[in-house]
Amino acid sequence: MSEEELDLRELDDQELVEQMWDDLYDGLADEISEGTEILLERGWAPYKVLTEALVEGMRIVGVDFRDGILFVPEVLMSANSMKAGMAILRPLLAESGAPQQGKMVIGTVKGDIHDIGKNLVSMMMEGAGFEVIDIGINQSVEEYLAALEEHKPDILGMSALLTTTMPYMKVVIDTLKEQGIRDDYTVLVGGAPLNEEFAREVGADAYCRDAAVAVETAKEYMARKHNQ
Protein backbone atom coordinates (compact mmCIF):
# COMPACT_ATOMS: atom_id res chain seq x y z
CA MET A 1 0.00 0.00 0.00
CA SER A 2 1.48 3.34 -1.02
CA GLU A 3 1.70 6.31 1.32
CA GLU A 4 -0.95 8.11 -0.75
CA GLU A 5 -3.55 5.43 -0.10
CA LEU A 6 -2.82 5.58 3.63
CA ASP A 7 -3.16 9.35 3.48
CA LEU A 8 -6.73 9.27 2.10
CA ARG A 9 -7.93 7.23 5.07
CA GLU A 10 -6.23 9.60 7.49
CA LEU A 11 -8.20 12.60 6.20
CA ASP A 12 -11.41 13.63 7.90
CA ASP A 13 -14.55 13.76 5.76
CA GLN A 14 -14.23 17.38 4.68
CA GLU A 15 -10.53 17.04 3.89
CA LEU A 16 -11.21 13.86 1.92
CA VAL A 17 -13.97 15.52 -0.12
CA GLU A 18 -11.69 18.45 -0.94
CA GLN A 19 -8.89 16.03 -1.87
CA MET A 20 -11.34 14.27 -4.20
CA TRP A 21 -12.10 17.58 -5.91
CA ASP A 22 -8.35 17.95 -6.55
CA ASP A 23 -8.06 14.34 -7.73
CA LEU A 24 -10.99 14.80 -10.12
CA TYR A 25 -9.35 17.97 -11.43
CA ASP A 26 -6.14 16.03 -11.99
CA GLY A 27 -7.93 13.07 -13.57
CA LEU A 28 -6.86 10.47 -10.98
CA ALA A 29 -9.39 7.65 -11.38
CA ASP A 30 -7.91 5.23 -8.81
CA GLU A 31 -7.94 7.88 -6.10
CA ILE A 32 -11.55 8.78 -6.93
CA SER A 33 -12.58 5.12 -6.64
CA GLU A 34 -10.83 4.84 -3.30
CA GLY A 35 -12.23 8.11 -1.96
CA THR A 36 -15.74 7.03 -2.98
CA GLU A 37 -15.34 3.69 -1.19
CA ILE A 38 -14.00 5.36 1.98
CA LEU A 39 -16.93 7.80 2.18
CA LEU A 40 -19.41 4.95 1.71
CA GLU A 41 -17.62 2.95 4.44
CA ARG A 42 -17.98 5.97 6.72
CA GLY A 43 -21.73 5.81 6.26
CA TRP A 44 -22.23 8.49 3.62
CA ALA A 45 -25.37 8.01 1.53
CA PRO A 46 -24.53 7.35 -2.14
CA TYR A 47 -26.42 10.49 -3.20
CA LYS A 48 -24.39 12.59 -0.75
CA VAL A 49 -21.12 11.19 -2.15
CA LEU A 50 -22.35 11.91 -5.67
CA THR A 51 -23.39 15.50 -5.03
CA GLU A 52 -20.82 16.71 -2.52
CA ALA A 53 -17.70 14.92 -3.78
CA LEU A 54 -18.18 14.12 -7.47
CA VAL A 55 -20.72 16.62 -8.83
CA GLU A 56 -19.13 19.52 -6.95
CA GLY A 57 -15.69 18.44 -8.17
CA MET A 58 -16.91 18.32 -11.77
CA ARG A 59 -18.59 21.71 -11.32
CA ILE A 60 -15.17 23.17 -10.51
CA VAL A 61 -13.73 21.43 -13.59
CA GLY A 62 -16.61 22.79 -15.69
CA VAL A 63 -16.02 26.37 -14.56
CA ASP A 64 -12.32 26.21 -15.49
CA PHE A 65 -13.19 24.55 -18.81
CA ARG A 66 -15.66 27.32 -19.58
CA ASP A 67 -13.07 29.94 -18.66
CA GLY A 68 -10.38 28.41 -20.87
CA ILE A 69 -8.13 27.26 -17.99
CA LEU A 70 -8.70 23.57 -18.73
CA PHE A 71 -8.94 22.04 -22.21
CA VAL A 72 -10.72 19.03 -23.72
CA PRO A 73 -8.01 16.38 -23.01
CA GLU A 74 -7.85 17.39 -19.33
CA VAL A 75 -11.62 17.49 -18.97
CA LEU A 76 -11.87 14.03 -20.56
CA MET A 77 -9.44 12.76 -17.92
CA SER A 78 -11.54 14.37 -15.18
CA ALA A 79 -14.70 12.88 -16.65
CA ASN A 80 -13.09 9.44 -16.82
CA SER A 81 -12.19 9.64 -13.13
CA MET A 82 -15.75 10.72 -12.42
CA LYS A 83 -16.85 7.55 -14.23
CA ALA A 84 -14.73 5.46 -11.85
CA GLY A 85 -16.68 6.90 -8.91
CA MET A 86 -19.99 6.57 -10.78
CA ALA A 87 -19.32 2.87 -11.47
CA ILE A 88 -19.37 2.30 -7.70
CA LEU A 89 -22.30 4.63 -7.00
CA ARG A 90 -24.67 3.89 -9.89
CA PRO A 91 -26.05 0.56 -8.59
CA LEU A 92 -26.35 2.01 -5.08
CA LEU A 93 -28.15 5.10 -6.36
CA ALA A 94 -30.60 2.93 -8.28
CA GLU A 95 -31.35 0.92 -5.12
CA SER A 96 -31.86 3.99 -2.99
CA GLY A 97 -34.09 5.75 -5.57
CA ALA A 98 -31.92 8.86 -5.41
CA PRO A 99 -33.36 11.94 -7.09
CA GLN A 100 -32.03 12.68 -10.56
CA GLN A 101 -31.64 16.08 -12.17
CA GLY A 102 -33.34 14.72 -15.26
CA LYS A 103 -32.85 12.35 -18.16
CA MET A 104 -31.17 13.02 -21.51
CA VAL A 105 -30.90 11.12 -24.79
CA ILE A 106 -27.90 12.28 -26.83
CA GLY A 107 -26.43 11.31 -30.18
CA THR A 108 -24.46 12.58 -33.17
CA VAL A 109 -26.67 13.07 -36.24
CA LYS A 110 -26.80 10.94 -39.37
CA GLY A 111 -23.75 11.17 -41.61
CA ASP A 112 -21.52 12.40 -38.78
CA ILE A 113 -19.16 10.12 -36.88
CA HIS A 114 -17.57 12.68 -34.54
CA ASP A 115 -18.05 11.88 -30.89
CA ILE A 116 -15.49 13.63 -28.66
CA GLY A 117 -17.75 16.63 -27.99
CA LYS A 118 -20.79 14.41 -27.51
CA ASN A 119 -18.88 12.12 -25.14
CA LEU A 120 -17.72 15.11 -23.15
CA VAL A 121 -21.28 16.43 -22.84
CA SER A 122 -22.49 12.96 -21.78
CA MET A 123 -19.85 12.69 -19.07
CA MET A 124 -20.32 16.23 -17.79
CA MET A 125 -24.10 15.78 -17.73
CA GLU A 126 -23.73 12.52 -15.83
CA GLY A 127 -21.32 14.34 -13.54
CA ALA A 128 -24.06 16.89 -12.83
CA GLY A 129 -26.50 14.18 -11.76
CA PHE A 130 -28.39 13.56 -15.01
CA GLU A 131 -29.16 10.11 -16.34
CA VAL A 132 -27.67 10.04 -19.85
CA ILE A 133 -28.51 7.61 -22.65
CA ASP A 134 -25.85 8.02 -25.34
CA ILE A 135 -27.13 6.45 -28.55
CA GLY A 136 -23.86 7.02 -30.41
CA ILE A 137 -22.88 8.45 -33.80
CA ASN A 138 -24.52 8.56 -37.25
CA GLN A 139 -28.05 8.49 -35.81
CA SER A 140 -31.08 8.63 -38.11
CA VAL A 141 -34.35 10.28 -37.23
CA GLU A 142 -35.86 6.82 -36.73
CA GLU A 143 -33.16 5.97 -34.18
CA TYR A 144 -33.73 9.22 -32.29
CA LEU A 145 -37.48 8.58 -32.23
CA ALA A 146 -37.00 5.02 -30.99
CA ALA A 147 -34.72 6.23 -28.18
CA LEU A 148 -37.19 8.95 -27.16
CA GLU A 149 -40.03 6.42 -27.12
CA GLU A 150 -38.02 3.91 -25.10
CA HIS A 151 -36.36 6.19 -22.55
CA LYS A 152 -38.87 9.08 -22.21
CA PRO A 153 -36.16 11.68 -21.50
CA ASP A 154 -36.58 15.33 -20.55
CA ILE A 155 -33.86 16.46 -22.93
CA LEU A 156 -32.78 15.51 -26.45
CA GLY A 157 -29.20 16.41 -27.31
CA MET A 158 -27.93 16.43 -30.90
CA SER A 159 -24.36 16.97 -32.01
CA ALA A 160 -22.78 17.65 -35.42
CA LEU A 161 -19.24 18.62 -36.40
CA LEU A 162 -19.73 18.87 -40.16
CA THR A 163 -21.54 21.70 -41.93
CA THR A 164 -23.00 19.03 -44.25
CA THR A 165 -24.66 17.14 -41.38
CA MET A 166 -25.94 20.16 -39.44
CA PRO A 167 -29.21 20.41 -41.44
CA TYR A 168 -30.15 16.91 -40.33
CA MET A 169 -30.96 18.38 -36.92
CA LYS A 170 -33.87 20.18 -38.58
CA VAL A 171 -35.08 16.88 -40.06
CA VAL A 172 -35.27 15.39 -36.56
CA ILE A 173 -36.98 18.43 -35.02
CA ASP A 174 -39.46 18.75 -37.92
CA THR A 175 -40.36 15.07 -37.49
CA LEU A 176 -40.99 15.65 -33.77
CA LYS A 177 -43.30 18.52 -34.74
CA GLU A 178 -45.14 16.40 -37.32
CA GLN A 179 -45.74 13.75 -34.69
CA GLY A 180 -46.97 16.33 -32.20
CA ILE A 181 -44.26 15.51 -29.62
CA ARG A 182 -41.84 18.42 -30.12
CA ASP A 183 -42.96 20.16 -26.91
CA ASP A 184 -42.38 17.01 -24.84
CA TYR A 185 -38.61 17.57 -24.96
CA THR A 186 -36.05 20.28 -24.44
CA VAL A 187 -33.86 20.06 -27.56
CA LEU A 188 -30.23 21.13 -27.12
CA VAL A 189 -27.83 21.22 -30.07
CA GLY A 190 -24.08 21.61 -30.21
CA GLY A 191 -20.96 21.22 -32.32
CA ALA A 192 -18.17 23.42 -33.64
CA PRO A 193 -19.90 24.86 -36.76
CA LEU A 194 -23.20 25.66 -35.00
CA ASN A 195 -24.30 28.94 -33.47
CA GLU A 196 -27.34 30.39 -31.72
CA GLU A 197 -28.89 31.65 -34.94
CA PHE A 198 -28.70 28.16 -36.48
CA ALA A 199 -30.28 26.63 -33.36
CA ARG A 200 -33.17 29.10 -33.64
CA GLU A 201 -33.62 28.41 -37.36
CA VAL A 202 -33.89 24.64 -36.91
CA GLY A 203 -36.26 25.00 -33.96
CA ALA A 204 -34.00 23.85 -31.11
CA ASP A 205 -34.46 25.24 -27.60
CA ALA A 206 -30.82 26.20 -27.20
CA TYR A 207 -27.34 26.04 -28.69
CA CYS A 208 -24.64 24.88 -26.29
CA ARG A 209 -21.14 25.91 -27.35
CA ASP A 210 -19.46 23.42 -25.01
CA ALA A 211 -20.13 20.78 -22.38
CA ALA A 212 -20.07 23.23 -19.47
CA VAL A 213 -22.74 25.38 -21.14
CA ALA A 214 -24.78 22.25 -21.93
CA VAL A 215 -24.88 21.36 -18.24
CA GLU A 216 -25.84 24.89 -17.17
CA THR A 217 -28.52 25.10 -19.88
CA ALA A 218 -29.96 21.68 -19.02
CA LYS A 219 -30.17 22.62 -15.34
CA GLU A 220 -31.96 25.88 -16.19
CA TYR A 221 -34.55 24.08 -18.32
CA MET A 222 -35.12 21.43 -15.65
CA ALA A 223 -35.57 24.14 -12.99
CA ARG A 224 -38.19 25.83 -15.19
CA LYS A 225 -39.94 22.53 -15.82
CA HIS A 226 -40.17 21.82 -12.08
CA ASN A 227 -41.48 25.32 -11.36
CA GLN A 228 -44.32 25.16 -13.86
Same domain, 138 and 167: yes
How would residue 228 be classed by pLDDT, with cut points 50, 70 and 90?
Answer: low
Instruction: Considering only residues 221 and 4, tell me which one the structure prediction assigns the higher pLDDT.
Output: 221
Q: Return phi, psi of residue 206, to 5°.
A: -160, 155
Question: Which CATH number fits the domain that encloses residue 54?
Answer: 1.10.1240.10
- H helical segments located in 26-96: 29-41, 46-48, 56-66, 72-96
Rg, the chain, Cα only = 18
CA-CA distance, 124 to 94, in Å (whole number)?
19
Split into its structural domains, the chain has a count of: 2
Task: Compute CA distances 147 → 50, 64, 205, whole Å.
Answer: 26, 33, 19
Last residue within a domain, chosen from 72, 96, 120: 96
* Final residue of a structural domain among 42, 66, 96: 96
Residues 130 and 221 in one domain: yes
Tell me: do 107 and 185 sit in the same domain: yes
The residues facing 157 across adjacent strands are: 106, 188
Share of the chain above pLDDT 70, in %: 96
- Same-domain pairing of 7 and 38: yes
**Residue 87: which domain range?**
3-96
Residues 130, 19 share a domain = no
Taken in order 12, 31, 63, 166, is the CA torsion positive or negative?
negative
Sheet of 131-139: strand order equals 131-139, 103-109, 155-159, 186-190, 206-207
CATH of the domain at 139: 3.40.50.280
Most confident residue range from 77-86, 92-101, 107-116, 136-145: 136-145
In a shared domain, residues 27 and 75: yes
**Partners of 107 in the β-ladder:** 136, 158
- Residue 1 banded pLDDT, cuts 50, 70, 90: very low
171 shares a domain with 139: yes
pTM of the model: 0.77
Asked if pLDDT for residue 2 goes beyond 60, the answer is no
- Return the percentage of the chain with pLDDT > 90, whole number: 72
Q: Are the beta carbons of 111 and 162 closer than 8 angstroms?
A: yes
More confident residue, 114 or 150: 150
Same domain membership, residue 145 and residue 79: no
Confidence tier at 4 by pLDDT (50, 70, 90): very low
Are 123 and 18 members of one domain? no
